[in-house]
Amino acid sequence: MSQEAARGSRDEYTGLCQEILNVAVGQTIVDLERHLGDLTYFPSFVVFGEIIFPPLLIARVPLATAKGSFNCAFLLDMAKPKLAQKLKKIVEGFSDNNEADGGTPQ
């Protein structure tokens, strides 16, 4: 396949990859949440070109095919869930204090 033809197929290829990833993530997210609590997750994305991975907990698997190679990566960022838990406790504290003072929660 020529580069021009390959570029013309990017939408279909990207859609296929994203759907495969959505199924895989959908099957694993339930188990991850069982061990880690509620998680925030984002749709998969496909990058054509280079990407620099941040120095965080990342699982990366390079895959090579006859048509070329690509990376499949998984990032678990524990900072955001911890921040959300702290904010939830703060909001609950405000609600508890308001009710203890005889106020009506708004």
pLDDT digits (tens, 9 = 90+) for 58-99: 777 888 888 788 777 777 666 666 667 777 888 888 776 666
Q: Are residue 9 and residue 20 in the same domain, yes or no?
A: yes
CA 6/CA 104 separation, integer angstroms: 61
Instruction: Provide the domain count of the chain.
Output: 2
**Domain of 57, in residue numbers:** 3-75
In a shared domain, residues 33 and 71: yes
Residues 65, 100, single domain; the answer is: no
- Range 45-63 average pLDDT: 75
Residues 87 and 52 in one domain: no
Q: Is the pLDDT assigned to residue 39 strictly greater than 70?
A: yes
pTM recorded for the entire structure: 0.45
**Residues 6 or more apart whose Cβ sits within 8 Å of residue 83:** none
Whether residue 65 sits in one domain with residue 83: no
Same domain, 61 and 91: no
The whole-number pLDDT of residue 93 equals: 82
What lies within 8 Å, CB to CB, of 106 at 6+ separation is 98
